[in-house]
A and B are shown apart, each in its own frame.
Chain A
Amino acid sequence: MIAEAKETRASEVKSQSLHPLFELTAMRVREFLREKEAVFWVFVFPVLMTFALGIAFRNTAPEKTPVAIEASTTDTRASELAGVLSRSEEITATVVTPDEASRALRSGKVSIVVKPQDDTFEYRFDPTRPESRAARLLVDDVLQRGKGRTDVAQIAEQKVTEPGARYVDFLVPGLIGMNMMGSGLWGLGFTIVIARSRKLLKRFAATPMRRSHYLLSFMLSRLIFLVLEVAAVIVFAALAFGFTVRGSWLSLGLITVLGGFTFSGIGLLVAARPTTIEGVSGLMNFIMLPMWLLSGTFFSSERFPEVLQPFIKALPLTALNDVLRALMNEGATLASMWIPISVLLAWCLISFVVALKIFKWQ
């Protein structure tokens, strides 16, 4: 009885509703966070993807140049020579029979074959292969020095590995772009079409809710998640691979917002009419598939034929990826990226205007 009385009192506490835009946005955020799968695909998956691809394509320390010494194994001259060459940190030398040597060279297992003769050496290599030409210089250098050649000029070396030039550096902006496209389209497309198919949109239309508030709530919740989404990948890549953003954070922020709005706009457009999940799924795949393939997420879109380039450059994801890469990897300014930024702006504006025109509430 006492417990009951307490409960009644507790429920007499007033619950204030806040501004409709706040309540709508809060609803979006709650619905998203309570959907475990959505959280996985938006936050965890891109990080896993960065990790997997970053590891698979990491730039390893330069490998030693494989060199074959052609001779019979009993030949002492050959094993002596192998000893001399192997003393260099950059060479692994093995003594093999002439047959094996030719095979190894052909298959690329070794870059050069050295054949010791009485007092001379014969180099056998393929000059069209860059690594073979490099191997020739390296081997020659070691052998000449071994014979007593001395360097005349004093050299100071400085070894640099450019962080912005690794595959993972290329990959991270692309993954962020792709993720922004996916979460924008799925986030708006699905949520709106589900609400329509469940007659929830119609129910909202029966209230004095401002329709702009409903649509704005999607923008706002997208912005909140966007920050987290982008930060998750950048922070992870920074910790795991030493990824750095070279451009200004402010520019990155602005582009993130623009990209987020652009794909929200496209999401809204996709969701403007369909009444079934199947319908909107098909439409979304139709729109996203070309961009997954062409927009240069995993490899540069420049590799596609010249005739396709104008089309590829006009895709919003290509534009976003290009801007993100220029910002993150090259430290470019926004002004220098005005072409892809204009492409994004155009997509953003057009999709919003058209979506609002054709949007159906039931």
Chain B
Amino acid sequence: MSTQVSPAAAAVARQRVALRCLGLVKRFTDVTAVNGVDLQVYAGECFGLLGPNGAGKTTTVEILEGLTPSDEGTVELLGQNWNSGRDNRALRERIGVQLQETQLAEKVTVVETLRLFRSFYARGHDVEEVIRTVALEEKRNARVGKLSGGQKQRLAVACALVSDPELLFLDEPTTGLDPQARLSLWDIVERFRDGGGTILLTTHYMEEATRLCDRVAIMDHGKVIALGTPAELIESLGADQVIEFSVTNPLTDEPLTNLPAVTNLHKRGDVYALTVSEIGVALPGLLAEIKRQQSELVTLTTHQATLEDVFVSLTGRMLRDS
């Protein structure tokens, strides 16, 4: 699993498309969950679908996994297509899937569960090896129902890894986990990618996307609204830094956006967020402007621009409603 891929090989691999979809549309009775999604994932990369609740991530992924039929559009996976209503076993042999909502049977143990999943595949890893990969040695004989949330999630990923897949789908693998558990899952994902595997993962944690993903597609209301490497997306803000502040008396927006080095302004409740290219230039101007509008600072924080800020600047909303 840990054969290092040389940079040159990686560059060649990048040319190969592991997954491609065009014009995906999925309508449910009351909502169009996926509304024209085009994606291209290269072999050997970790591709992230980032978006808020209900953005259509799961629906998109399950169409790609051949579990949900789409209303429109085409999917190509590892050079093959899903045959509706026919035998897709050859393609299923080559992908690993972790679904957002699966709850594995509670009364059986970790090793029994993995043996079952392993038995479905013609080839794959040894069960004990996968248990070590996801660091569940101590829980080998524990029943699934007795595992912690993080351990259950690692087991779910192990079930996806046991076939030694070329392409791994992870749907919100770390949602609801504590930071420790999240780190250990990131570790597993990174090792899989280092071994040459391709990953498509969904998340609504921007730290996760930033840390794990080579490229990210930001989704909202069934559409891809931005696509690129995390660095490119953040750069597209034209800003390195974000200043968030609140004041005693509301300010007029116009003069704020015209301040030097300020590229964008967003308001959420009474918190203002300024994206700025040079904080040293923007900050004195901002303080002066607040004073000029006869208001006073209540709070002020600054941080490096993140994918979250990209999402906010594109939609005016936060990724996670809190």
Chain A residues in the interface with B (C-beta under 8 A): 7-8, 11-15, 17-20, 22-24, 26-27, 30-31, 34-35, 195, 198-200, 202-210, 362
The answer to whether B43 has its CB under 8 Å from any CB of chain A is: no
| Chain A positions within 8 Å of B17 at CB level | none
Instruction: For the A-B complex with A22-B119, A23-B119, A362-B68 known, give 6 more contacts whose Cβ atoms are closer than 8 Å.
Output: A11-B140, A13-B128, A17-B115, A17-B116, A198-B102, A208-B120
Chain B residues with Cβ below 8 Å from A206 are 65-67, 92, 95, 97, 99
Are A30 and B112 in contact, with the CB atoms below 8 A? yes
CA distance A19 to B122 in the complex (A): 10
Q: Contacting B108 at CB < 8 Å: which of A18, A22, A30, A362?
A: A30
- A-B interface, 4 closest residue pairs, ranked by CB to CB distance from nearest: A17-B119, A208-B89, A198-B103, A208-B92
- B71-107 vs A, CB cutoff 8 Å, 1 = contact: the mask equals 0000000000000000011101101010101111101
Q: Which of A15, A22, A203, A207 contacts B126 (CB 8 A)?
A: A15
Q: CA–CA, A31 to B145, complex, Å? A: 12
Task: Check A14–B126 contact: CB distance below 8 A.
Answer: yes
Chain A: minimal CB distance from B12 (Å)? 29
A20 and B128 within 8 A (CB)? no
Q: Could you tell me the distance between the alpha carbons of A113 and B223 in the complex, rounded to whole angstroms?
A: 98
Q: Which residues of A contact B89 (CB under 8 A)?
A: 208, 210
Report how far A27 CA is from B144 CA in the complex, Å: 13
Residues of chain B within 8 A (CB-CB) of A11 are 128, 131-132, 137, 140
B121 at the interface (CB under 8 A from A): yes
Within 8 Å by CB of A31, from B108, B121, B132, B137, lies B108
In the bound complex, residues from chain B placing their C-beta under 8 Å from that of A203 are: 97, 99, 102, 104, 159
Q: Is B245 an interface residue (CB 8 A)?
A: no
Complex Cα spacing A11 to B141, Å? 11
Chain B residues within 8 Å of A31, by CB = 105, 107-108
* Complex A-B: 12 CB contacts under 8 Å: A17-B116, A20-B119, A27-B112, A30-B107, A31-B108, A200-B102, A200-B104, A202-B67, A203-B99, A206-B99, A207-B163, A208-B90
| B117 interface contact, C-beta 8 A | yes
Shortest Cβ distance from residue A45 to the other chain B in the assembled complex, whole angstroms:
20
Instruction: List residues of chain A with CB within 8 A of the CB of B68.
Output: 362
Q: How far is the CA of A2 from the CA of B146 in the complex (A)?
A: 28
Question: Which chain A residues border B102 with CB–CB below 8 Å?
Answer: 198-200, 202-203
Q: Determine the distance from Cα of A13 to Cα of B127 in the docked complex, in whole angstroms.
A: 10
Q: Is the CB of A207 within 8 A of B120?
A: yes
Of the candidates B67, B120, B140, the one having the most CB atoms from chain A within 10 angstroms of its own CB is: B120
Q: Are A362 and B120 in contact (CB under 8 A)?
A: no
B120 to chain A minimum Cβ distance, whole angstroms, is 4
Chain A residues near B104 (CB-CB < 8 A): 200, 203
Q: For residue A13, which residues in chain B have a CB less than 8 angstroms away from its CB? A: 128
Closest to B92 in A: A208
Q: How large is the interface on B (under 10, 10 to 19, 20 to 34, 35 or more residues)?
A: 35 or more
Question: Roughly how many angstroms separate A34 CA and B105 CA in the complex, as a whole number?
Answer: 12
Chain A residues within an 8 Å CB radius of B126: 14-15
A17 — which chain B residues lie within 8 A by C-beta?
115-116, 118-119, 127
B-chain residues with CB within 8 Å of residue A35 when the two chains form the complex: 107
Residue of A nearest to B97 (CB): A206
- Complex-state Cα separation, A22 to B68, whole angstroms: 29
B200 at the interface (CB under 8 A from A): no
Contact A15 B119 (CB under 8 A): no
Q: Is B111 an interface residue (CB 8 A)?
A: yes
Cα A207 to Cα B67 in complex, Å, equals 10
Bound state CA distance, A7 and B101, in angstroms? 33
- Kindly provide the distance from the CB of B111 to the nearest chain A CB, expressed in whole angstroms: 6
Are A23 and B99 in contact, CB atoms less than 8 angstroms apart? no
Q: Are B103 and A205 in contact (CB under 8 A)?
A: no
Q: A7-B137, A11-B128 given as contacts; is B108 within 8 A of A209 (CB)?
A: no
Cβ contacts under 8 Å, B93 to chain A? 208
Find the B residue at minimum CB distance from A210: B89
A34–B62 CA distance with the chains assembled, in angstroms: 33
Complex Cα distance A209/B119, Å? 8
Residues in chain A near residue B121, CB distance under 8 A: 207-208
Contact A27 B116, CB 8 Å, known A7-B137, A11-B131, A208-B92 = yes
The answer to whether A200 and B120 touch across the interface, beta carbons within 8 angstroms, is no
Shortest distance between the CB of A13 and any CB in chain B (Å): 7
What is the minimal beta-carbon distance from B144 to any residue of chain A, in angstroms?
A: 11
Chain B residue nearest to A195 in the complex (CB): B105
Provide the residues of chain A in CB contact with B101, threshold 8 Å.
Answer: 198-199
With known contacts A17-B118, A200-B105, A206-B67, A12–B92 Cβ distance under 8 A: no
Question: Chain A residues with Cβ under 8 A from B108's Cβ?
Answer: 27, 30-31, 34
Which chain A residues border B103 with CB–CB below 8 Å? Answer: 198-200
Residues on A with beta carbons closer than 8 Å to the beta carbon of B92: 206-208
Residue among A8, A13, A20, A208 with the highest chain B CB neighbour number at 10 A = A208
Is the pair A34, B131 in contact by a Cβ cutoff of 8 Å? no
Of A17, A206, A210, most buried by chain B (CB within 10 Å of CB) is A206
A23 lies within 8 A of B116 (CB): yes
Chain B residues with CB below 8 A from A207, complex form: 92, 97, 117, 120-121, 163
Residues of B within 8 A of A27 (CB): 105, 108, 112, 116
Nearest A-chain residue to B62, judged by Cβ: A202
> For the complex, what is the distance from the CA of A198 to the CA of B102, rounded to whole Å?
6
In the complex the two chains form, what is the Cα distance from A198 to B99 in whole Å?
Answer: 11
Tell me how far the C-beta of A14 lies from the nearest C-beta in chain B, rounded to whole angstroms: 5
List of A residues within 8 angstroms of B112 by Cβ: 26-27, 30
Q: How far is the CB of B75 from chain A (nearest CB, A)?
A: 14
